Structure 1
C-alpha cells in the first residue's frame, strides 16, 4: 500500500484549521517556487543560509540558527524544515510547539513524498513521515490533530515500505503487535521488527528477540531470540534503554546453557557477515 497524493494531502490538511486560513496553503497542493532572495536577508543563497543555520546551531546561537533555517526552509530545503521541526518538537532553542513542528514535517512530506528512496534526502523525508505518524498516534492538544491510529499506520507504512526506514518499520510493527490502527497480527509485527532489526534498530532487535524466545506469533527459537537480545543490549544505553537490558537479563536467566552457547555462535556469525 502506497499513499497516493490525494490521500497524503488529506492527512496533512487536518492541521490547516488550527493554523488559520493564512497558513492553510502550507498543506494544499504544490507549493510556489522559491522566492527571490531579499538583500536584507544577508545570505548569498538558500544553500548559504542552510550552512549558516547549521553552523550557528552547532555554535550555540540558536536564535540566529532559526532565522537562517527559516530562510532556507522557505526556499524549499527539506533539511532546514526538518531541523526546525525537531527544534520545535523538542523545545530546543525555541519554545516547544508541536503544531509548528507538525507544520514543518508536513511541508517536507507534501513537497517530497515521491523522493527516490536512494536519494540523499530520503532519510530526512522518511523521518518526517515517521514524525507525522507519531503525532497522529498521540494527537496534539488544543488542535485539530487528533488521535488517529489508522492515519498513523498509513504514514508509518509508507515510510517503512517505500523508504525502508527502520524507525518506521519498528513503529509499524508495534501497531501490529498491539492492534492499534491495524488488525492485531503478531506475524506481521515480527516481520516488520525483523526488517528493522537487520538494520541495527535496538528496540526492534529486543522485541523480535522476545517474540522468538516466547514463540509469540512465530515458531519458538530461544537461541536465535537470545542472539537478537544480545545485539540489542550491546547497542542500548543502560539508562535510556533500561527496558532492553531488563528484557535481555530475563531471557538470559531462563535460557539453558545450550541455548546460550548457540546464541553466542549465532551472534558471532551475524557480526562476521557485517564486517
Structure 2
C-alpha cells in the first residue's frame, strides 16, 4: 500500500504545483533553461536516472547551475532523488536563489506522490515530510504557506508512527510536551521521546530525563541528561547543558553523585555494546 501525504495547501499554493499525472513539470518557476555541455552526452531528453547522475556529478564538481538544471529535468520526469536534491538547493540557496516556497512545493510533490513499502525512495519521502513539517511549523513569509503548528504536528506524527524516524519522534514529543499544535499530552510526549532516545537521539534523552526527574526519578533523570550531553553536538550541547544545570540545581548532593555514577555506567555500557558489534 502506497504511503503518501494528501493534505491540500490551498488553491493559491496548489497553483504553483504542476500535476505529474498530467505530464506537467513539478515546478512552474524554475531554473532558466540553457544547453548542457555538448561534450557531456546528456540533454533534457535523456532519461531521469541519467539526468540525476549528471546533476550529482556536476554538483560534486562545483557546477551547481548545471546540477540544478539537470535535477529540474529529472524531477519533471518523476525522479524522487532529483526532486529532493533540487528542493534542498532552493531551501539553502545553494547554487540557485534561495526560495523557501519553491522548496516547499517540491517537497510537497514528493510527499503527495508517496512511496511503496520498501521503496529505495523512502528516504526522500521521509526527508520531504520533515521539511514540510518545519515549514508548516513556522510558515513561509510572503507566501500562501501560513504557520500551522497543528499540521506540522500531524506530519511529524506520520513520519514517526509510520516510519519510526527518530527526529520526527523527538519533534512530535516536544510539541506534545509544550502543547504546541494541539493539547499538551505528557504521557504521549514521554512515549515518543522515549522511542527517539532509544534510537540515539540526544535531544530526546535530555527532554525525557527532564520529565522523569519532575516525576521524582531524580537520579535516573539526571543521568539521562548527562548521557545526552555527552552525545550532543553544536547548539544542542548548549541547551542540553543549560537544561541539565537548571534541573541539577534542585537535586541533593547524594542524588548528583549517584546520577554521575549511573551516567558513567550507562556511557560505558553503550561503548561496550558498540565495540561488540
TM-score normalised by the chain length of structure 1: 0.81
Q: Residue 183 of structure 1: CA displacement?
A: 1.4
> What does residue 161 of structure 1 align with?
161
Q: Residue 139 of structure 1: CA displacement?
A: 1.0
Pairing 1:31–2:26 present:
no
Q: Residue 4 of structure 1: CA displacement?
A: 8.4
Contact 2:176 2:185 in 1 (8 A): yes
1:63-142 equivalent positions in 2, closer than 5 A: 63-112=65-114, 114-116=115-117, 118-142=118-142
Contact 2:173 2:188 in 1 (8 A): yes
Structure 1 CA distance, aligned partners of 2:83 and 2:17? 17
Please give the secondary structure, in 2, of the residue aligned with 1:169.
helix
After TM superposition, the structure 1 stretch with the greater mean CA deviation from structure 2, 199-208 or 262-271, is: 262-271
Please give the secondary structure, in 2, of the residue aligned with 1:145.
coil
**1:252–1:271: structure 2 CA closer, same or farther, 3 Å change rule?**
farther
Runs (5+) with no aligned partner, structure 1: none
Q: Residue 97 of structure 1: CA displacement?
A: 0.8
Q: Deviations over 1:218-274 (max 9, x none)?
A: xx3333333432332233224564112333445566442122212322333344444
Which portions of structure 1, spanning 4 or more consecutive aligned residues, are displaced by more than 6 angstroms?
A: none
**1:244–1:58: structure 2 CA closer, same or farther, 3 Å change rule?**
farther
Q: Deviations over 1:184-225 (max 9, x none)?
A: 01121111111111112222122122222333xxxx333333
Query: Which structure has the bigger radius of gyration?
Result: 2
Q: Residue 106 of structure 1: CA displacement?
A: 0.5
Aligned residues: 256
> What does residue 56 of structure 1 align with?
58
Runs (5+) with no aligned partner, structure 2: 26-40
Structure 2 CA distance, aligned partners of 1:32 and 1:272? 55
Q: Deviations over 1:21-79 (max 9, x none)?
A: xx4444xxx624699xxx97267421121112122222222111101111221121111
TM-score normalised by the chain length of structure 2: 0.81
